[in-house]
Amino acid sequence: MTKEKNTDYKFDLWKLIFLGAYFAILTTERVISLVKCCMSDFKSFSYLDYYMMMLTIFAIFGSYIYAVMHITDAVKHREKQRGIFAELGIAAGILLLGGMVHTDGSIPVMQFISYGMILISMAIHTVQNVKKSKGADKKWLSFSYIVAYSMAIPVVYHTQIELANLFIPIECVVSAGMVAMFTIMLVRFYNGNGESSFSLPPFLIALLGDLAVLLLRWKEEINVFVLIFLCVMTALWCVGNVMRIKRKNKQ
């Protein structure tokens, strides 16, 4: 094994370890929450409670079924069109759907730790690609943008606002939609050289979706966390596109 291959093997191993930790911690937290939900009085549940429970169950089973089917098939037939980390990225996105709903018994600390694991894996991938090729500024900017994007995804909560019947469906769609966009970016991130294209559609979905969620619930509670990362994400997207245009003009 050459020195370069040995280095790549070590990077890949650590990426796999932290991705595995993400799955283990978030799955454990989600199962604990589901158990508490099942021990509660179902008569007191609203349609949102049932939605969050069903989505969490789907996310857990869906992520592992997807991972087993696609990764096993890729290894068996040696056909890795997307690569093992891209496939794990899709599975991670499916599991994240269940992590973005505040079910009864949710443990925020465990959720944040699990998200931290996947971000560390992404950081390792960035370091790996910086060592392989130039463009450290674009790669770290891309990493920061995708992280900010993931942090700007709103968690689905109960609300007591007058427009709750309008707000809750919007909140659910925005949350799930941004998870889907983040998953696509994550797959391209792992399957490529760690750079983002800073494309417009995912950005607009996040911007408009977050603004709708924030403004509708503004009087009840200002989601400062989402607001901050929405601003950070917007700034990074602008910088990324300015950098892309400058590079294009130089060519």
- Read off the pTM: 0.93
Residue 12, both tokens: 């890949």
What percent of the chain stands above pLDDT 90? 74
Gap between the Cα atoms of 61 and 87, Å rounded: 15
> What DSSP character marks residue 133?
S
Residue 156's beta-bridge partner residues? 101
- State the angle between helix axes of 108-132 and 3-38 in degrees (0 to 180), rounded to the nearest 10: 160
Range in 27-31, 69-73, 178-182 with the lowest mean pLDDT: 69-73
Task: Inform me whether the pLDDT recorded for 249 exceeds 80.
Answer: no
Task: Inform me whether the pLDDT recorded for 79 exceeds 70.
Answer: no
Question: What stretches of the chain adopt beta strand conformation (E)?
Answer: none
Gap between the Cα atoms of 17 and 220, Å rounded: 41
Confidence label for 3 from pLDDT (cuts 50, 70 and 90): low
Cβ-based neighbours of 217, under 8 Å, separated by 6 or more: 159, 161, 167, 223
Gap between the Cα atoms of 145 and 195, Å rounded: 10
HEC profile of 42-94: HHHCCHHHHHHHHHHHHHHHHHHHHHHHHHHHHHHHCCCCCCHHHHHHHHHHH
Give pLDDT tens digits for 195-243. 898 999 999 999 999 999 999 999 999 999 999 999 999 999 999 999 8
Confidence label for 165 from pLDDT (cuts 50, 70 and 90): very high
Residue 229, both tokens: 């990362």
Gap between the Cα atoms of 154 and 182, Å rounded: 12
CB 19 within 8 A of CB 121: yes
- Using the Cα atoms of residue 139, residue 64, residue 180 and residue 104 in order, give the sign of their dihedral: negative
Q: Which helix (H) or strand (E) holds 4?
A: helix 3-38
Give pLDDT tens digits for 81-138. 567 898 999 999 999 999 999 999 999 999 999 999 999 999 999 999 998 887 899 9
Gap between the Cα atoms of 197 and 180, Å rounded: 16
Gap between the Cα atoms of 66 and 64, Å rounded: 5
> What DSSP character marks residue 30?
H
